[in-house]
């Protein structure tokens, strides 16, 4: 493993004076922690945060951000418009392959240079010396902007889902702009409560989030299979020309793949807690790959079942909340 050693700062002890920079030389803490801290210092950082995340809680954080099957439930209606059930399923597979290739590259970088800085840190290390500061600065701000967009997007979708549920239960209800805004603010406040109220229990919160998501997946899948009222023919998923977006078939496919990428967005989240995980060089790549695999293995079965058990595809497309309309058709009609 290669590291970029930082230039010593005036007044800071040199490596020869700070024996803890050599893995295994400190006896008052565990060897694993000593090695992790030495690697962190070799990457140009000082240890500042406790390593509170174990493998499972870090996986919980990674998957609770991506949460593929829930995330895709919130936006798959657009893919039905682009090309029907065919694009809804197969664009998801293509999106997984594309994102998995990107994830493998990030996982390798996260293994070699474990740093909570993530992409901007990788850019600073790997870019030519004359451009590394500028490149890292730009990449850092792009990363911040991307996480702002992802956060706002997730809160917006939660707001749409809540309004859609109310509309489904009361068909005459139409949310005003101020109601939508207040719902958005309410969701934002609820989601940040654990960060401030239980900051030392975040690892437990992420594990609970993982259990809830996987339990919800199992319940959705089993209930849908047991209680469905209708089933489409086996060739249903292979039928083309089901879209009504107005785009030609090639463009519609590209748009549907882009939309399906949302199911695997934010998979790099675990990189940004590298400094809070023991053995990040080994565990971060494992968690990133596992997040992708869990995403595919939860997302694909649910949507294959949903597509086969739907009755009126047009009603699903036009519904304010397509996922709820789908469940209603499967279990009630």
Q: Does the pTM of the predicted model rise above 0.85? A: no
Both tokens of 179, joined, read 């109601």
d(CA 205, CA 90): 33
CA-based torsion, 46, 52, 54, 56: positive or negative: negative
Q: For the residues of 192-228, what is the DSSP string, one character each? A: HHHHHHSGGGHHHHHHHHHHHHHHHHHHHHHHHHHH-
Q: For the residues of 173-201, what is the DSSP string, one character each? A: ----HHHHHHHHHHHHHHHHHHHHHSGGG
Tens-level pLDDT at each residue, the chain (333 residues) = 444 444 444 444 443 334 333 333 333 334 555 566 666 666 666 666 667 788 999 999 999 889 999 999 988 988 999 988 889 999 999 999 999 999 999 999 988 888 888 888 889 889 999 999 999 999 999 999 998 998 898 899 889 889 888 888 887 788 889 999 999 999 999 988 888 887 788 888 889 999 999 999 999 899 988 888 788 887 888 877 777 888 888 899 999 999 999 999 889 889 988 888 888 888 999 999 999 999 999 999 999 998 888 888 888 888 888 888 888 888 776
CA nearest 18: which of 2, 42, 1? 42
3-state secondary structure 114-131: CCCCCHHHHHHHHCCCCC
Q: Are 110 and 285 in contact (CB under 8 A)?
A: yes
Both tokens of 282, joined, read 């080994």
User: What pLDDT was estimated at residue 43?
Assistant: 62
Tell me, rounded to whole angstroms, the distance of Cα 222 from its chain centroid.
Answer: 24
Q: Are 74 and 67 in contact (CB under 8 A)?
A: no
Residues 6+ positions from 17 with CB-CB distance below 8 Å: none
Of the chain, the end-to-end C-alpha distance in Å amounts to 59
d(CA 323, CA 306): 9
Q: Which region holds residue 243: left if phi is over 0, alpha if psi is between -120 and 50, else beta?
A: beta
> Dmax over Cα atoms in the chain, in whole Å?
75
Residues 6+ positions from 110 with CB-CB distance below 8 Å: 118, 268, 271, 274, 280, 281, 284, 285, 288
d(CA 302, CA 78): 17
| Domain 53-143+198-332: CATH architecture, name and number where available | Up-down Bundle (1.20)
Q: Following CA atoms 200, 203, 209, 214 in sequence, which dihedral angle do they give, to the nearest 10 degrees? A: -160
User: What pLDDT was estimated at residue 292?
Assistant: 95
29 backbone dihedrals φ, ψ, rounded to 5°: -135, 170
């Amino acid at each position: 493993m290669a590291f970029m050693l930082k230039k010593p700062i005036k007044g800071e002890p040199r490596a020869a004076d700070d024996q803890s920079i050599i893995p295994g030389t400190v006896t008052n803490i565990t060897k694993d922690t000593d090695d992790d801290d030495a690697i962190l210092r070799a990457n140009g950082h000082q240890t500042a945060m406790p390593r509170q995340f174990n493998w499972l809680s870090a996986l919980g954080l990674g998957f609770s951000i991506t949460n593929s099957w829930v995330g895709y439930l919130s936006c798959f209606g657009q893919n039905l418009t682009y090309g029907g059930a065919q694009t809804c399923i197969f664009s998801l597979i293509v999106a997984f392959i594309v994102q998995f290739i990107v994830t493998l590259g990030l996982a390798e970088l996260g293994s070699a240079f474990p740093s909570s800085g993530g992409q901007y840190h990788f850019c600073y290390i790997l870019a030519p010396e004359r451009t590394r500061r500028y490149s890292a600065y730009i990449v850092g701000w792009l990363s911040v902007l991307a996480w702002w967009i992802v956060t706002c997007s997730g809160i917006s979708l939660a707001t749409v889902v809540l309004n859609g549920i109310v509309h489904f239960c009361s068909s005459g209800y139409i949310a005003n702009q101020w109601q939508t805004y207040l719902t958005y603010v309410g969701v934002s406040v609820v989601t940040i409560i654990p960060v401030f109220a239980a900051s030392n229990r975040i690892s437990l919160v992420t594990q609970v989030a993982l259990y809830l998501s996987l339990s919800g997946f199992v319940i959705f899948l089993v209930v849908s299979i047991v209680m469905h009222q209708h089933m489409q023919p086996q060739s249903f998923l292979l039928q083309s020309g089901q879209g009504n977006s107005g785009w030609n078939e090639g463009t519609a496919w590209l748009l549907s793949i882009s939309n399906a990428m949302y199911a695997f967005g934010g998979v790099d989240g675990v990189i940004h807690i590298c400094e809070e995980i023991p053995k990040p060089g080994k565990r971060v790549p494992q968690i990133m790959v596992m997040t992708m695999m869990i995403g595919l293995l939860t997302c694909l079965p649910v949507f294959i079942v949903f597509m086969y058990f739907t009755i009126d595809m047009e009603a699903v497309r036009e519904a304010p909340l397509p996922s709820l309309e789908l469940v209603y058709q499967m279990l009630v009609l």
